Amino acid sequence: MTATRSDWQGEAAIAPGIGVFRGLSGNNKAHRHWAHQLSVGLNGPVHFDSPDGQNSFDAVLIPAGSQHCQLESHTLSLYIDPTSHLVSYLHIDVQGDSPWTALSAQTVDRLLQAFPDNCPVTQGLERLLNGSSAGELAPSSRLEKVLKNLKSALEDDRDVTRTDLAGIACLSPTRFSHWFREETGMPLRSYKKWLRLIHALEMAVVTRNLSEAAQMAGFADQSHFTRAVSQAFGIKPRDLLGLFSAEP
């Protein structure tokens, strides 16, 4: 199997803590993102390339931070923030350092029920979020306060330091760094970059203007935003934006 040469075809949707793509995956380079990726093959297996070689799966979990390149496949793919309650709802279980984990039949059933073929992904995403909210597990109060402060700082375009967050968590800065990684599975610096990138994508979907979205999210310029998207998703932001329906 060789790397794909086609454009991405399909539809995408985004909401706080989650993104969804359904369709035919196209051109992308090796990348890694700070979200767990759940991919289900819709017309045969879904194919990936990684430092360990090429692999094919009926349904697979790619843990946050794992490098991969998605080869041409018809797929339903979800990208879930490791701090989201959906990690529990969808039984996402990251096993050690393995870059691939087969999804359980229960998880696959929940995904396919939420995103039937005749349903736009925007409606499927709403169905998934509504269905999962009843059993939503709140994070620890300490983590919840830290995450809330991180997200509000981003929305208010202000910086929040490790020392600031350590104070909220009542920990020393050094202990806070270890605690945050234990709780979320990622370093604080990486998570802050990830939040900024997702915020920029959310703004781009609304404004349909990449330069404006990059500025609103705190990127130095559009080229920095483009590079961040490429590193995280393996494609250019304009190609990614084309998968989202314009907001009314």
Predicted pLDDT of residue 140: 67
Q: Which of 51, 152, 158, 168 is nearest to 100 (CA)?
A: 51
Long-range Cβ pairs for the range 144-149 (8 Å, 24+): 145/169, 146/180, 147/83
Predicted pLDDT of residue 5: 54
Residue 119: what are its φ and ψ, rounded to 5°? Answer: -120, 125
Q: Is 35 exposed, middle or buried (0-12, 13-18, 19+ CB in 10 A)?
A: buried
User: Which residue has tokens 């995450």?
Assistant: 147
For 43, the enclosing helix (H) or strand (E) is none
Instruction: For the chain of 248 residues, list the mean pLDDT of each consecutive stretch of 10.
Output: 69 94 94 96 94 91 94 96 92 81 94 95 95 64 91 89 96 96 90 94 94 93 95 94 73
Rounded to whole angstroms, how far apart are CA atoms 217 and 214? 5
Q: Is 66 exposed, middle or buried (0-12, 13-18, 19+ CB in 10 A)?
A: buried
Domains in the chain (CATH in brackets) are 9-133 (2.60.120.10), 141-241 (1.10.10.60)
Rounded to whole angstroms, how far apart are CA atoms 181 and 206? 32
Rounded to whole angstroms, how far apart are CA atoms 204 and 86? 24
